Structure 1
Amino acid sequence: MPYKRTEQKFNGKINVCEIGAGDAAISIGGEKTLPFLGDEGFKTAVGIAISDAPEDWADCFKTIYGDDLKNPAAFAKAAVEKSGADFILVKLASADPNGADNSVENCVATAVAVEAAVKVPVVIEGCKNAEKDAKLLEAVAKALENKNVVLFSAVEDNYKTIGAAGAMAYGQKVSAESAVDINLAKQLNILLTQLGVKSQDIVMDVGSAAAGYGFEYVASTMDRIRLAGLGQNDESLQMPIITDVSSDSWSVKESVFTEAEAPEWGSLEARGIGMEVTTAAACVVGGSNAIIVRHPESAKTIKSMIAGLIG
């Protein structure tokens, strides 16, 4: 018997969120059904990650980028060219008060230089210190006014500053970060909308984990969020999901142990790419609307996979 696909109909719809400005702008979200099960052409955007402090990155990235690693703008331009990514994430890791404690002014200058160097939308991440990120991302939002960047990410301790500055004062998009928990994700979305941020200006960072390292919690959380947004028409969970798998994928033993430490495992670079692609692929089929990876080959592979699924 020939296969006949039965498409499940839902009452809800995921919001469309546009990031970037002008010809560089892209839209994510807008689907009315679960990933790749409908006729609407669900497509995940693929981003490439860079950092202003990549000293702890695997040696393979030194081979790929050379001296560009020392210049975030050149690094960003090369990353986009080598990967064909739809957008770029710049991690302002040097701002960490427990690390280099780079000044807000210096980090803002880096963000501005990166945005000017590339022709794709930009996502700006802080240093994961809530207090410093509030100041940093507010300043970034002001400096890049009307560039429609994503501030990645607001948490419960700083969402008021980032939400007010990012989306309301300077017209940016805000990513709401929760720790693999549907209730926390919903709560933060509600808090941002109550603050005055439009739901179309919010994306969700619901958390990640490398495949094989508690990823089942990520998968189940994404499933529950998407089913609530589509099946229950829960407007507080209808924001697009953006997932950065780069840090988790390149920090587990499979992509950290050197070839001298584990010669039987083969190439460290190949292992890292494999871990990143596996994790990213799982997030894509789980409903992530934008996925972020570190290695250019990972980006190319995921883009090819998505194109194949769309047909």
Structure 2
Amino acid sequence: MPFTGKSGKFNAAIRTVEIGTGDKAVKLGGENVLPFYTFDAPIENAPKIGVLITDMGLENEVAGIKDYYAGATTFAEIAKKAEEMPGADFVVLRFEGADPNGENRSVEDCVAIAKEVGDAITAPLVIEGCKNVEKDAELFSKVAEALQGKNVLILSAREENYKAVAAAAGLAYGQKVGAESAVDINLAKQLNVLIGQLGVDQANVVMNVGSAAAGYGFEYVVSTMDRVKAAALAQGDVQLQMPIMTPVADEAWNVKEAMASEADMPEWGSQEERGIDMEVETAAAVLASGSNAVILKHPTSVATISKLIKALV
């Protein structure tokens, strides 16, 4: 008796959100099947890769990253090289130095850096903050204003500051809004509802449902993404049909496997290779779990994940 496979195509679909402008604008989401289930239906918009740079420059990066950016001394030059990295779809600028408990870089200085980067590249730009909710609320509002017309994604609005961030980015200045929650489907949905109640069109919202490096409570990330995609597609929950972007680099390069020196842990081998392994493993896992875009920073990681995506879509 012949086997007839049952299609896993759903009537519902993930919304398509476009970031950037012109020929290099990218579309996130749009699929009506589970991650990489191209045997059920075509996936029009393959997952995308962003390259992370920060306002702290390159001093603390590993050798392979420094080598790639060799000769780049200004933020504009670094951003341009990030844009040109093989496999890159967009650039991510993180304001790590804005943290009041760290460098405490002023909002004015951050805005100047954002404008320098925004003017230097034609690829879409994503802005990350310092994780201080008060500083980020002020920073994101000013950056969204300074980059008006570039259709950037402000990542992210959180429960503590979503009113200021979403109102500025999504309403006043026409940017895209990232909704960041802490690895919980109910929190993710609640934040999406709250942002929608402000008047932000759901077609302008991308979710960051949280992440962790592979091996660090990662089962919570997987189960949350699985539940979000199941609710969005199988149950048709419109409040969870936004594409997901996951900042992998922030997590993968800040665990002991990636940070412990070869002098301290000689049996673990090359520190840089360990960091690449953590980044690639984490990115592959969140893509398989439903992320529509990942943020990476090492050229080897970007090339590897780009090859993976092309092989599966």
Partner of 1:164: 167
1:230-241 equivalent positions in 2, closer than 5 A: 230-241=233-244
Residue 257 of structure 1: how far off its partner (Å) = 1.2
Q: 1:56 & 1:153 partners in 2: Cα distance?
A: 24
Residue number in structure 2 paired with 1:122: 125
Q: Contact (CA 8 Å) 1:11, 1:232: kept in 2 or not?
A: no
Amino acid at match of 1:175: G
What are the within-5 Å matches in structure 2 for residues 18-167 of structure 1?
A: 18-37=18-37, 38-41=40-43, 43-54=46-57, 55-66=59-70, 68=72, 71-167=74-170
Counterparts of 2:296 and 2:2 in 1: how far apart (Å)? 38
Are the counterparts in 2 of residues 207 and 243 from structure 1 also a CA contact under 8 Å? yes
Q: Structure 1 counterpart of 2:200, which letter? A: V
SS of match in other structure, 1:135: helix
Q: 1:208 to 1:22 in 2, by over 3 A?
A: same
Q: Distance in 1 between matches of 2:166 and 2:126?
A: 15
- TM-score normalized by structure 1? 0.95
Q: Which residue type is aligned with residue 10 of structure 2?
A: F
Q: CA deviation at 1:62?
A: 2.8
- Secondary structure, aligned partner of 2:85: helix
Distance 1:6 1:274 in 2: 36
| Distance in structure 2 (CA, Å) of the matches to 1:188 and 1:65 | 37
2:170 and 2:104 map into 1 onto residues whose CA distance is: 26
Aligned partner letter, 1:280: A
Q: Please list the CA deviations of residues 249-300 of structure 1 after superposition, one character each: whole Å capped at 9, or x if unmatched.
A: 0011111111222222221111111110010001111111111111011111
Contact 2:21 2:150 in 1 (8 A): yes
Normalising by structure 2, we get a TM-score of 0.94
Mean CA deviation greater in 198-207 or 70-79: 70-79
* Unmatched tracts of structure 1, length 5 or more: none
* DSSP 3-state at the match of 2:287: helix
Q: CA deviation at 1:165?
A: 0.8
Q: Distance in 2 between matches of 1:275 and 1:157?
A: 30
Extract unaligned runs of 5+ from structure 2. none
- On the 8 A contact 1:223/1:286 being kept in 2, the answer is yes
Aligned residue number for residue 204 of structure 1: 207
Distance 2:275 2:77 in 1: 23
Identity among equivalent pairs (%): 53
| Alpha-carbon offset, residue 22 of structure 1 | 1.5
1:214-259 Cα distance to aligned partner (Å, 9 max, x none): 1110000000000000011111000000001001100111111112
- RMSD across aligned positions (CA): 1.6
The residue aligned with 2:284 is: 281
Alignment check: 8 A CA contact 1:95 1:107 kept: yes
1:5 is displaced (CA, Å) by 4.6
Which residue identity lines up with residue 62 of structure 2 in the other structure?
Answer: A
Closer, same or farther: CA 4–284 of 1 in aligned 2, 3 Å: farther
1:59 positional shift: 4.4
Q: Distance in 2 between matches of 1:73 and 1:98?
A: 26
Aligned length: 309
What amino acid is aligned across from residue 17 of structure 2 in structure 1? C
